[in-house]
Chain A
Amino acid sequence: MLLPTLLLLILPLALGLSPPPQTFVNTAIARTVELGGATTHVTTQYNIKATADGPGEYHLALAGEGDEEPAWWEVAIGGKPVEGVTILDDAAPTVSVPLGDLKRDGTITLSLTQVLAHKSAPLPAEIEQREPQFLVWKTNSTYVDSWYPSDVERIKIRAPHPPLLSYGSVPTTYTRDSTVTKSGASLTLGPFHSVPPTLGKTEVDQPPFSVHYEVKEPVIGYKTLRRSAEVSHWGANLNIQDEIALVNNGAKLKGHFSRLAHQQSRFHASVPAQILSEFTLRLPPTAHSAYYYDTIGNVSTSHFRQGTTPAQTARSSRVRTSPRTVDGTLELRPRYPLLGGWNYTFIVGWDMPLGDVLKSESQTGRKILGVPFMTPLKDVVVEDAELKIILPEGASDVQIYTPFPVDSIDHSTHKTYLDTTGRYAVTIKKAHCTENHAQNVYVTYSYPLSAQLQKPTAVASVVGSLFLLGMGLRRVNYSIDKK
């Protein structure tokens, strides 16, 4: 215990980093941790008081020392995301948040929303087909990580279902009475009083904490998600196709799959927690012509319900339906039920009208295209996501705007149906995505009329020259014997 602590103490020094000036105090921190399958949602409220005039920027720790940056995070003040948040190169993932001009003793409330990936692991790691599934959630920092001292801290941990098998304990250093309170599926840690900064040169001993809980939903993840979005101006169509490698990340199946037991459990209306037999994707309301297939052909076990928009409802139906936007739903059933550790790779795709996602700038005529980076699916982590936007042939002057930092953006040329010069393609890659990353990526490009006419001209000229060639050839006499 001593050695790692020492190391932790030495590490920032070794990296040549120093804690920020102690110009802030957290008067109260309230953190809520929602446990799930693959992801953990953490919401933290910081009540901050400045201890000096013009305290500078607030250093907000996203995780403890040596931890990974959360898969997704957002800093907000009064419900609005803060602009100008910069990531600092630090041992603990830290961002600096501009809080504006604060006088001494001025207060402000900051809220941090985080989604953590893969914090829970199945325990036991292997279960039989009909056994319940348990996960254990572990964290290295019981107290909220902060560069500043905190007056009061309260942490609430919520599991999805009431029975909690076990949970860790918390040292009584900063508490007066009970440290962990359990009520139903929730645990309350603290309140902790007068906690010194847990980061930087600190004497605080961050104890780990764990919760062992049950999940009744299968824990699924995407190993890879390859989305391609192809824009067609002639067809006024945006085609989106996802190639998904799905894996059941829950407890692995012990022994073998018994169809008999599976059918019996369905008969008793109690599908075991680890089995994924169906899931639903929510598509844009105007999505149509959905398809679902895999390496060996179409998967017939799926249902697609097209969504509606208010305009559509008003136009089409005599029956009075609620004039609101209803998402399309694509209910997918894999070919076989997915038990723990099983894989399933498949492809889904759909079309949608281009008018819904493409706007034209009135002065310059530049096109602005919004393509969703991924389709949100609750409690799923995408290990590797890739979005390839294929612009129409002849699009030029392309600029990309991503709503969040991504790992890489590549530009390439993509050749497909009857192309002559090829299409402009942009490939965006990012690891560790969650449902919060399902936001639009914006692309602007210019697309003149000449580019639009490029393909018809090319095809027409080829066909025309073939005809001319045929005419010419028919008029030549090949016979050796000229008469």
Chain B
Amino acid sequence: MAPKTAKSPSKARPSNPSQTNSFDTRTPITPELQTPSPPNGPSSSSSSAAHVVPSPGGGMPVFFDSKGNKLAYPVPNGLSPAAINNTESLLRFVILALICGAAIGSRLFAVIRFESVIHEFDPWFNFRASKVLVNDGFYEFWNWFDPTAWYPLGRTVGTTLYPGLMVTSGLIWHALRAINMPVDIRNVCVMLAPGFAGLTAWSTYLFTAEMSTPSAGLLAAAFIAIAPGYISRSVAGSYDNEAIAIFILMASFYSWIKALKTGSSLWGMVTALFYAWMVAAWGGYVFITNMIPLHAFVLILMGRFNNRLYTAYSSWYAIGTIASMQVPFVEFLPIRTSEHMAALGVFGLLQLIAFVETVRRLVPGKQFQLLLRAFVVAVFVVSFAALVVLTFSGWIAPFAGRFYSLWDTGYAKIHMPIIASVSEHQPTAWPSFYFDLEMLIFFFPAGVYWCFKELRDEQVFIIIYAVLSAYFAGVMVRLMLVITPVVCVSAAIAFSKLLEAYIDPAIPSDAADESAVEDQPVSKSKAKKMAAAKQSQPFSFTGLLSGKSSSGIFALDTRFAVVSTLVLFLFVFVHHCTWVTSSAYSSPSVVLASRNQDGSQNIIDDFREAYYWIRQNTPKDAVVMSWWDYGYQIAGMADRPTLVDNNTWNNTHIATVGKAMSSSEDVAYPILRQHDVDYVLVIFGGLLGYSGDDINKFLWMVRIAQGVWPDEVQEVNYFTQRGEYAVDDRATPTMKNSLMYKMSYYRFPELFGGHPAQDRVRGQTIPQQPIVLDTLDEAFTSENWIVRIYKVKKEDAIGREHRAVTAWNGGKKLGKSASASASVGAGVKRGRPSM
């Protein structure tokens, strides 16, 4: 630290030894920096004793500390520095503990409102994998081949997932059992995200305290604890990789900064271990893989290469890379893909520079140095060229498609409809920045500005992080998660700078002093402050607001105005965060809730009703076909084989399901039979007005199917002549004959007993003409018709076409009773040749 401070004396804090900040012992103030100027920096003079001198005019009392400095308000005197130090660390501990409590508490809305349940889609897979881990053991999990997913292909799960999350919760589960605390693995999984959110607050505190002051750290911890941008991915039950990834991200950044500051290889190793954990837990580890090299590279360019950087980076890279290669899903990626090349390049560069530095120290002689520099540049160029050649020769894989979609937001839409069809992969809308971060987004640039002002090594890190993540957050909604920590950190720095400036009770002695100060070279900001103080003098307030006893900006009224505004900001922020968390991010989406007319809550539990029915009343090996969104849920809750699921690795298989859903029964039936499908499951929200149903997703099924079979499935056929997406009378024949349309609206109009059948999602009237299903039987429909399950008929025993069978059965019934239902009549009209 000390050399750094010496490097930039202009921005060093002018402070007296008596006012040495008791908690700021990390930054020893060198004697030559002492100036007689009054303190206006962030240091507090709380340690100094104060005494009151009533002003002769009988106006406001004036306070002095033991050194005779003027104070704006009294502070307790006679406290020993040790006592203050202890009190501060106790307070910090208590505040941090409360912040962790708030972080956990604000994520429990879903548990309190609904129950301890796993949310959404991907978490169900993670939960299932965790169950395999704790029930069958680690090696079974590592070698897990799941024959029930992607039927009939199966999935080698062990090598196609990031095991960090499951291993983490498995370890917690085992640890609790070891002390005879048997907790259901489901509860461990549900509470994992809130628990790690508490840890994130703690690691953010440590990280920010390294950047600025511990008080800024506390603010940052409070911000990250309740910032909706992070809560959106870490509410209780949201058992996904991101739940632990943000903690590991902040912890590895903290230990990197620590390693960089101390130059200790121990901290470098800690960074590497956190990095390895991150690699095991989340695909977003690439962010760290590029963030740290970039930071190192920028430091080198700034001419700040030193042995601490060399030690920290080398120990991180060597251990981290080897550790990351132990993850089966990653294996040799760190040396074979472009995403990891920056880290390798910077590692090489550091070795060269270290070599050059060593030689330079030993060999004086300018020509030799020049030679060495040329050597460094040459090696760099050659290795870069080698990299390019290797890339083009195919030995090093170029960037993956998902990364291209980060550079070109239109890329996915054209080349990867499956990725584009996921709503969280869309570019971020402007309002969502404010929605997710509220006032932090305004303080964020201010904090970055403060980092520029001081520009210590670690603050460079914040700047790089801010720039990179701001870009990524703009590209993809999902990556709002990555920007949230840095926004919290830098907003906290700005906020605490402001608060410190306005709460610090010290007042510069007098106008006389002021002029003396003016003579000195002062930094720009200080000059501005002086100017502001001067300008405020012509305004002469009276009464309580009169600033006569103290001077202008240092008066209590100004302090009060600014501090109360900031506090108001904080209150509004907390309110906003709570509201957003409660209203937007705490719905499990497995269970829906609606309000009855009397205001009581009505739980809509159709998904679990249907899944549990499948689980209990169908054969164990019955294959269920549905759109891929529900694959993980079916596997997790219904425990049945599925054709496709949320691990969208096989586009053709998904397109096959899309084709079956979007084609007529004649085309779909052979597909269903070839894939041994026993049940087809569709989500239908028309009765209840649940808009996330399959008819609304239908166009994506069509598009994905069209991508593979452009001749057989065409998107245009599903639109009316006027280009509308209609399900009522205007619907095209292709639409009406599609399996999806038929399954969604089968017998739906009958529910209305002759009245127009209103689809509440699309606001259209479904035609009364009954839908006939020849190859499927309705097997189960949930209470609110959200989940509809159809059983695929086997081939007819005497080899007839299914349509003929339907017609035959219909005809027979018609002959027997005149009051045959309408659906039977339609079957007759269609299939029976003569009567």
Contact = CB atoms under 8 A, between A and B. Distances in A.
Contact of A296 (B180, B608, B791): B608
Interface string B586-626: 00000100000000000101001111110111000000000
Contacts of B179: 418
A256 B790 CA distance: 9
A344 B611 CA distance: 12
B747 A336 contact: no
A383 interface: no
A415 B751 CA distance: 54
Which of A257, A294, A301, A336 is packed against the most chain B CB atoms within 10 Å? Answer: A336
A256 B182 contact: no
Contacts of A298: 114-117
A342 interface: yes
Contacts of B617: 342-343
A119 to B, nearest CB: 26
A296 B181 contact: no
A344 B616 contact: yes
A297 B117 contact: yes
B781 interface: yes
Which of A260, A335, A342 is packed against the most chain B CB atoms within 10 Å? Answer: A335
Nearest to B610: A336
Interface stretch (B72-80, B322-330, B772-780): B772-780
A363 interface: no
Contacts of B636: 296
Contact of B751 (A255, A260, A300, A342): A260
Which of A298, A301, A419, A420 is packed against the most chain B CB atoms within 10 Å? Answer: A298
Nearest to B780: A257
B472 interface: no
A118 B404 CA distance: 68
Contact of B779 (A257, A263, A301): A257
Interface in B152-194: 179-182
A260 B608 contact: no
A271 B786 CA distance: 22
A234 interface: no
A418 B613 contact: no
B728 interface: no
Contacts of B357: none
A297 B186 CA distance: 10
B256 interface: no
A300 B603 contact: yes
A450 interface: no
Contacts, number: 77
A345 interface: yes
A317 interface: no
A270 interface: no
B617 to A, nearest CB: 5
Which of B610, B781, B782 is packed against the most chain A CB atoms within 10 Å? Answer: B781
Interface in B744-792: 747, 750-751, 777-783, 785, 791
Contacts of A415: 180, 182
Contacts of B783: 259, 336
A258 B179 CA distance: 50
Contacts of B117: 297-298
B251 interface: no
A336 B116 CA distance: 21
A336 B750 CA distance: 21
A263 B751 contact: yes
Contact of A300 (B605, B610, B781, B785): B605
A295 interface: yes
Interface in A371-393: none
A127 B637 CA distance: 29
A255 B780 CA distance: 11
Interface in A416-466: 416-420
The number of chain A residues touching the other chain, given as a range, is 20 to 34
A342 B614 CA distance: 11
B180 A336 contact: no
B180 A259 contact: no
Nearest to B637: A296
B616 A342 contact: yes
B609 A336 contact: yes
Nearest to B777: A256
Given A256-B791, A259-B781, A336 B613 contact: yes
Interface string A384-419: 000000000000000000000000000000011111
B751 A345 contact: no
A309 to B, nearest CB: 29
Interface string B622-641: 00000000000000110000
Given A298-B117, A417-B180, A417-B181, A256 B779 contact: yes
Contacts of A343: 616-617
Contact of A335 (B181, B608, B785, B791): B608
A260 B750 contact: yes
Contact of A297 (B115, B750, B751, B780): B115
Contacts of B780: 256-257, 259, 336
Contacts of B180: 415-420
Contact of A294 (B610, B612, B747): B612
Contacts of A419: 180
A107 to B, nearest CB: 56
Interface string A329-347: 0000001100000111100
Interface string A290-308: 0000111111110000000
A221 B117 CA distance: 29
B182 A296 contact: no
Contacts of B609: 335-336
Which of B182, B616, B751, B777 is packed against the most chain A CB atoms within 10 Å? Answer: B616
Interface string A233-270: 00000000000000000000001111110010000000
A417 B182 contact: yes
A299 B617 CA distance: 18
A336 B614 CA distance: 11
B612 A336 contact: yes
Contacts of B612: 294-296, 335-336
Contacts of B779: 256-257
B181 A418 contact: yes
Given A296-B637, A344-B616, A418-B179, A335 B605 contact: yes
B603 A295 contact: no
Contact of B747 (A257, A260, A300, A417): A260
B781 to A, nearest CB: 4
A367 B782 CA distance: 50
Interface string B467-491: 0000000000000000000000000
B589 to A, nearest CB: 13
A300 to B, nearest CB: 4
A312 B137 CA distance: 51
Nearest to B750: A260
A70 to B, nearest CB: 31
Given A255-B777, A342-B617, A344-B616, A297 B608 contact: yes
Interface string A349-382: 0000000000000000000000000000000000
B724 to A, nearest CB: 29
Interface string B114-155: 111100000000000000000000000000000000000000
Nearest to B746: A260
A259 B684 CA distance: 14
A335 B613 contact: yes
Nearest to B607: A296
Nearest to B638: A296
A331 to B, nearest CB: 16
Given A344-B616, A417-B181, 6 more contacts: A256-B791, A257-B781, A260-B750, A295-B615, A335-B605, A336-B783
Interface of A: 255-260, 263, 294-301, 335-336, 342-345, 415-420
Q: Which 3 residue pairs of A and B lie closest in terms of their CB atoms, listed nearest first?
A: A259-B781, A298-B115, A300-B603
16 contacts: A256-B778, A256-B779, A256-B791, A257-B780, A257-B781, A258-B781, A260-B751, A260-B781, A295-B612, A300-B603, A301-B605, A335-B605, A335-B608, A336-B782, A336-B783, A419-B180
